[in-house]
Amino acid sequence: MMETLVIGIIMLTVGIALYYWISRRKFYRRNVAGIEGFSSFEASVIVRLLERLGRWISYILIIFGILSLFAYNSIRKKEKAKTEVVKPAESSDQRR
């Protein structure tokens, strides 16, 4: 059960960090005119492809991290419901 929580937190953190890092690199690559600067056409194509792939990976990590946290929450609620013992009301017929 705790594994689900730990995995969810790790996936969510890594996904957000990856998304932030890619966006930050893209921001600092822009010049004064707002145009991205690359050393060559090949570098432009490769970097954009890798950033697009990295962004999709970050989306997947964020989604699975959130789903893991929801799974942990539902498992915890089910276990909590199992541990709660409902005391049956004693009727007068059972006392005799």
User: Can you give the pLDDT at residue 34?
Assistant: 85
Q: Domain total for the chain?
A: 1
User: Can you give the pLDDT at residue 89?
Assistant: 63
User: Would you say residue 23 lies in a domain?
Assistant: yes
User: Can you give the pLDDT at residue 67?
Assistant: 96
User: Can you give the pLDDT at residue 82?
Assistant: 79
Residue span of the structural domain in which 20 resides: 2-81
User: Would you say residue 96 lies in a domain?
Assistant: no
Report the number of secondary-structure helices (H) and strands (E) in the chain.
3, 0
User: Would you say residue 92 lies in a domain?
Assistant: no
The proportion of the chain whose per-residue pLDDT surpasses 90, expressed as a percent, equals 59
Which residues in the chain come in under a pLDDT of 70? 85-96
Q: Which of 21, 25, 23, 8 is nearest to 62 (CA)?
A: 8
- Cα distance between residue 65 and residue 57, in whole Å: 12
User: Can you give the pLDDT at residue 62?
Assistant: 97
User: Can you give the pLDDT at residue 91?
Assistant: 61
